Amino acid sequence: MFTLEAAHKRAAFFMKQLQKGSQKLLNAWAFYDWANSVYTLTIASSIFPIFYANLFPKSDSPVFAFGFEMKQTVLITIVTAATFLIVAVMSPILSGIADYVGNKKKFLKFFCYLGSAGCIGLFWFSLDYIHLSLLFYFMGLIGYWGSLVFYNSYLPDIAHKEQHDSISAKGFSMGYIGSVLLLLINLVMVNTQDSGEAKMQMMRYSFVMVGVWWLLFSQYSFYYLPKGVKTDDEPIKNIVFNGLKELKLIWIELKSNLRLKRYLNAFFVFSMAVQTIMLMAVYFGEKEINWVDGNQKTQGLIVSILVIQLVAILGSLVASKFSNKYGNIKTLIVVNSIWLLMCFYAYLMSTPVQFYIAAAIVGFVMGSVQSMARSTYSKFLPKTEDTTSYFSFFDVAEKIGIVIGLVIFAIVEQTSNMRNAILFLFVFFLAGILLLLRVPSENKKG
């Protein structure tokens, strides 16, 4: 007889058969990239920046929020930086709780659903209700990055070390393909409309589609991924501080793992610049490129993002092959050198064709650096079951770096212009390269 309890037992039994390294488990993990990457493409990178810019009569029109008048892009930059700061503070606390209860999947689900709701809420984004609108933007952003804390921490749990590069690249590739597919649908929706008002309405529907896509496709990953490993036996009254204690312990352990410590220093610096450029790229294209008219601008920016995503698939796969032959650190040095040169190119470019060329190059190095950064860290980790805390440390470093990068970017833009802000980021890529050169090939005590 079929009962709900029997169904749960069968499901639990089946899930236990998915051993570490099994193809079905690896595919289920990678499929979450397919589910959530639509957020980064449609909301963070393409349609929302265009939608947001179209709310203002001019590209340099100011906006009033939180008691201050500022440039419209500066407002989004500040809100984005504040969100990353909250994630950086919150993630170690949540990771400690996740370790205590032994169920990181619950936290992955929570942030997934929060982000999905935020995307759907952007349907009602309006300058008349700017603070409520920014709350929805905040929910989507914190949902996406909060979920990655727990998603990334699954990698050493579900894959053997020799599988890390390939499955990490596969996850990013699936994310690129899925997000491009939805963006193509959204692009048709927007471009088949005649009036600007109708185009804006289709953009609003695109935000809803992102939220629904993220919510529905993540269920496949949730079904197969394990709950997690309980590693903390402290009294329940201490669980709120367990994550912070773990970060402190990991910081101490880094002294005996020179390779991991130096890699984290390099990652902190170059990720600061990479993520800032990725978050601000479309805003730069909207303000600084000489488009013929609004229609060319909308189509050009979306096409550019599509180019970035498609080339990023190739970039992640090439990086995986290159790293197998020459090593992860050498691969990251080459990729960061290309990023450094891109800062100078972006400062000089002004035409749509130049922007398309930049999009192709950025797509290639974006796919490379994202895939390699995650898999390199997982390779350098010591043997431990407490992967959540280690990846929490990794994510905190990344988020704090992004906050610093965005704040510097906003300050330079507010006092000068966006071109100078982009150019200034070359300093971080140069420093990142120099720090990568100091990463030893074998682990040594610090």
Question: What are the DSSP E strand ranges found in 107-162?
Answer: none
Tokens of 297: 């601008």
Does a structural domain hold residue 335?
A: yes
Check if the beta carbon of residue 156 is closer than 8 Å to that of residue 387: yes
Count of the separate structural domains present in the chain:
1
Quick one: pLDDT at residue 344?
Answer: 92
Does a structural domain hold residue 361?
A: yes
d(CA 349, CA 147) in angstroms, rounded, equals 36
Distances (CA, A) of 80 to 87, 128, 177, 293: 11, 20, 25, 29
Check if the beta carbon of residue 445 is closer than 8 Å to that of residue 260: no
CB atoms within 10 A of CB 98: 31
Check if the beta carbon of residue 438 is closer than 8 Å to that of residue 262: yes
Check if the beta carbon of residue 375 is closer than 8 Å to that of residue 328: yes
Pairing of strands 68-71, 62-65: antiparallel
Report DSSP letters for 55-101, one per residue. TSSSTT-EEEETTEEEEHHHHHHHHHHHHHHHHHHHHHHHHHHHHHH
Does a structural domain hold residue 112?
A: yes
Does a structural domain hold residue 8?
A: no
Residue 437 sits at φ, ψ, to 5 deg, of -65, -20
Does a structural domain hold residue 9?
A: no
d(CA 259, CA 56) in angstroms, rounded, equals 49
Residue 175 corresponds to which amino acid? G
Identify the CA nearest to 172 among candidates 341, 319, 388. 319
Kindly give, in sequence order, each residue whose CB lies less than 8 Å from that of residue 27, ignoring residues fewer than 6 positions away: none
Does a structural domain hold residue 198?
A: yes
Kindly give, in sequence order, each residue whose CB lies less than 8 Å from that of residue 398, ignoring residues fewer than 6 positions away: 267, 268, 271, 275
118: domain CATH number?
1.20.1250.20
Does a structural domain hold residue 14?
A: no
Burial of 241 (0-12, 13-18, 19+ CB in 10 A): middle
The dihedral built from the CA positions of residue 399, 74, 278 and 177, taken in this order, carries a sign that is: positive
d(CA 335, CA 426) in angstroms, rounded, equals 13
Distances (CA, A) of 192 to 96, 195, 203: 49, 10, 12
d(CA 419, CA 74) in angstroms, rounded, equals 14
d(CA 140, CA 111) in angstroms, rounded, equals 9
Quick one: pLDDT at residue 113?
Answer: 95
Check if the beta carbon of residue 190 is closer than 8 Å to that of residue 204: no
Tokens of 70: 């500022």
Quick one: pLDDT at residue 9?
Answer: 46
Does a structural domain hold residue 86?
A: yes
73 lies in which domain range?
Answer: 21-227+239-436
Quick one: pLDDT at residue 14?
Answer: 41
Intervals of the chain under pLDDT 70: 1-18, 20-21, 59-60, 95-102, 160-165, 228-244, 384-389, 442-446
- What region, left, alpha or beta, does residue 66 occupy, with left being phi > 0 and alpha being psi -120 to 50 degrees? left
Quick one: pLDDT at residue 229?
Answer: 57
Quick one: pLDDT at residue 384?
Answer: 63
